[in-house]
Structure 1
Amino acid sequence: MLIRKLFKFEGAHIVRNCSSHRCRENIHGHSYIVEVFITSDKLDRGYMVMDFVLLDKVKELVDSFDHTYSLWREESEELKSFVYKYNRRVAEIPVSPSAEGYALLLFYLIDKILQNTAHENGEGNVQLSSVRVHETATGYAEAFREDMKLVDFDIHDIRFSEAIREEWKNDAWWKQLVK
């Protein structure tokens, strides 16, 4: 069975090396919608794939990008200095912040979160099926498990600014992922 949970965030970025001058040469933002699709071969005692309350860490992760500048680690040191000087909420990420980049990054991280989530209500084999990131009302990118072969980074390449980490209710979930 398949379930879907929707999350939202407002974010800004520059998408270098793309075809559009507007996107590759200008800071701009989007209202993102993130859809997380989860499967299981069994329903829990409440007849659910899993209780959505168990996705609290996923919500905290997605909220980390809200009103945040997503800074591609390949940017120039000059731009990095500028961004950190004038923004408190910065997510420095190892992928270009395109919808495709976000989909891969979020699949990678959400999969780790789910693997570290205790299932104690008779859940079956709970698996992340895909992550869909809508960048606009008319376009999205979706990452599946087989797309993880495109990932050439690890969790240590992802950095959230202090202002983001300070807003986390508890950073134990992140510390568990990076150990």
Structure 2
Amino acid sequence: MFEVTVEAGFSSGHYLRNYRGKCENPHGHNYKVFVTLVGEELDEAGMLLDFKLLKQVMRPTVDYLDHFMINDLAPFDKEINPSAENLAKYFYEQTSSQLHEMTGGRVRVKDCTLYETDTSFARYYE
């Protein structure tokens, strides 16, 4: 089994609904997200997936969130709270659907890890 990981970063604001504490107030983070892929077969070039391609797959999601108030963006504008856990799941879902189409299922997302701070992160996997 082969595994590759790519990191991206973005800065956004958010606040948590149904939460009592400092995070119920609008505030921001410099997020880091790590997307890890797995697969059993390498391509003709001897790679699971070119890092450049994975970055291209991640870019639309990063750009969608970067320098915005996440609570104003779907699907976080209604019932889904923009917690680190839900953001990690969002990256997983966005990346998975695109990679499946791109590789025909040869490569899959193992997990997405989202750092809200240098010392606090959430991970989503299936």
TM-score by length of 1: 0.63
Contact 1:32 1:135 in 2 (8 A): yes
Identity among equivalent positions (%) equals 29
Contact 1:58 1:113 in 2 (8 A): no
Q: CA RMSD in A?
A: 1.6
In structure 1, list runs of 5 or more residues that go unmatched.
72-89, 146-179
Report deviation, 1:118.
Answer: 4.8
Count of residue pairs brought into register by the alignment: 121
Counterpart code for 1:23 = C
Structure whose residues are more often helix by fraction:
1
Moved over 2 A (4+): none
Name the counterpart of 1:48: 47
Cα distance in 2 for residues equivalent to 1:67 and 1:116: 29
Structure whose alpha-carbon radius of gyration is higher: 1
Using CA pairs below 8 Å that are at least 6 residues apart, which structure has the higher relative contact order?
2
Counterpart code for 1:4 = T
Report deviation, 1:64.
Answer: 1.4
After superposition, where does 1:70-149 map in structure 2 within 5 Å? 70-71=70-71, 90-94=72-76, 95-118=80-103, 125-145=106-126
Cα deviation 1:91-130 (Å, max 9, x = unaligned): 22242111001011111111111122257xxxx8201000
Counterpart code for 1:58 = M
Cα deviation 1:48-104 (Å, max 9, x = unaligned): 111122221321221211101111xxxxxxxxxxxxxxxxxx422242111001011
Counterpart code for 1:96 = N
In structure 2, list runs of 5 or more residues that go unmatched.
none
